[in-house]
Amino acid sequence: MLKFMPDSSVVSDVIPSPNHGERRPGVPTDIIILHYTGMTDTEAALKQLCTAGTEVSAHYVVLEDGRVVQCVPEARRAWHAGQSWWAGEEDVNSRSIGIEIVNRGHDWGYPEFPLRQIAAVITLCRGIMIRRRVPAHRVLAHSDVAPGRKKDPGEKFPWRALAASGVGHFEEPAPVVRGETLMLGGNGNAILSMQQSLAAYGYKVPVTGQFDAATMEVVTAFQRHFRPERVDGVADQSTLATLESLLASKPKDSPQPLTSTPPPAIA
């Protein structure tokens, strides 16, 4: 694929990937999916994303020093989410922009995300949200849309800082305290209610009243994103209260466009 004009003014380089296709006709591009690369270095990640036959790609890659590389035009369907699901949508790739954030991930030590890198992610996302009218609550983690397969960008990713700049939906997590918990093997109305709430937020979860392995995977994904202080797949009172706060504050799906005001600096 020949080089193309970047969609974002923050792009420092275009490295075209051959791995993309047509978006499904008539489907809006109204989701942003954030990933980490999960590889040992930037060069290996870009090679994976930009080599024919690997069957993976992303629209953007954000380097540790804040530089942004575009690999697929936003108008095209990149192959970043894989088998995934959100709010009734199975073909997440057709309606999303994929952003890979260079980080070695859980299998390679999982370092902190540099502040300069996060500032670049915020600026990039804000531009996409304006252009594509993406609602804040549809800026998601890869683990949100594929909880059984993925952990990225993981519990160290600073969703709180993004939300402070209008990128993503976040509520301050309820404190972790001792109390009753819902866990693997349990059943009953409390579990049914939790499953209904997770499904209402957008997660693909069985609504059966049985706390099975699939439910545990979804609870774990929810905690990675919204209650990262303890990620164990056990629905304690903190997890449940945080979920209800998010549901109560979740906007309707008609997006309000952002202004072009620059995001505040990250302390």
Q: Which residues are catalytic, by number? A: 100
Looking up tokens 């970047």 gives 6
Residue type, 240: L
| Residue 185 neighbours by CB under 8 Å, 6+ apart | 211
Angle at 73 between CA 108 and CA 262, to 5 degrees: 75
Positive or negative torsion for Cα 90, 93, 99, 101: positive
The answer to whether 185 and 211 have CB atoms below 8 angstroms apart is yes
Q: How far apart are CA 35 and CA 105, in angstroms?
A: 10
Neighbours of 23 (CB within 10 A): 19
Looking up tokens 């600096």 gives 265
| Residue 46 neighbours by CB under 8 Å, 6+ apart | 15, 61, 69, 71
Strands in 71-165 per DSSP E: 77-78, 96-101, 139-141
Neighbours of 3 (CB within 10 A): 10
Residue type, 170: F
